[in-house]
Structure 1
């Protein structure tokens, strides 16, 4: 007795929302790992620390609480990450202009340069992979990118 016809195929699985969710989850996680592997080996910062630098680059100065909210972690965890980044010169901590109880975190030149160099390296790798795709495949990804961003930030 053959069960080959009973096995789910990519085509059958992707027809359902649950199947699409599974396919996207696996693909996005594989791409994330692949991009992480393209980081500069000399960059010893964790992906979480790099995400903090990225949040500061995109949003400007933020409090520890705001950073924790952006990265969806607990404030004590963010405090530890910020302390490590500050100790190594990637960020500086300062006083909040209106609430002395809060600490404001700012990106230093070293933090900005580290972030941008890391992004350039990974963007170059991804741009090369994109050049290997057909124009229709690139157009599909161009259309999907804002949708993926909306999912990621919801």
Structure 2
């Protein structure tokens, strides 16, 4: 196991953190709908990846408190991006489902962000691009641990 607190391994962790944060900030500026907060966009992304969910499930996946998620869902519903439906097994709960409007907006956002990244990648040489392609699955794994 690498020593992630000292030496080259610690420096690599620090560089990775810094680079991911800077790139994330730059990508956040490539939004289609500026009226949505990053948290609202994240909730829509979670719904797109995982499918419909209760507000409680969304709160756990997004690492926010349930009352906060209730407010976020209400805002998204007011913008026509999600709808609340009866839970199929528990009448006390609702299920949050994204609308076609949300799907369209997310697809446009993905296209814009992918185009931005593609522009950055054009500045890499072939060896750097090969390393980045190889690192993508590892970064994806880290994002979901």
Give, in angstroms, the shift of residue 119 of structure 1.
1.2
- Please show how residues 77-96 of structure 1 align to structure 2 within 5 Å: 77-96=68-87
CA offsets 1:59-111 (integer angstroms, 9 cap, x no match): 11111111112212221111111110001110001111001122100011111
Is 1:17–2:9 an aligned residue pair?
A: yes
Q: Which residue of 2 aligns with 1:46?
A: 37
Is 1:99–2:84 an aligned residue pair?
A: no
SS in 2 for 1:100: coil
SS in 2 for 1:93: strand
Q: 1 CA distance for matches of 2:8 and 2:92? A: 50
Give, in angstroms, the shift of residue 15 of structure 1.
5.0
Higher Cα radius of gyration: 1
Q: 2 CA distance for matches of 1:60 and 1:48? A: 17
5+ residue gaps, structure 2, are: 1-5
Is 1:129–2:124 an aligned residue pair?
A: no
Q: Which residue of 1 aligns with 2:110?
A: 119
Q: Which residue of 2 aligns with 1:61?
A: 52
Give, in angstroms, the shift of residue 31 of structure 1.
0.1
Aligned-CA RMSD value: 1.7
Q: Which residue of 1 aligns with 2:141?
A: 150
Which of the numbers 1, 22, 33 marks the counterpart of 1:30? 22
5+ residue gaps, structure 1, are: 1-13
Segment of structure 1 superposing worse, 66-75 or 87-96: 66-75
Aligned length: 141
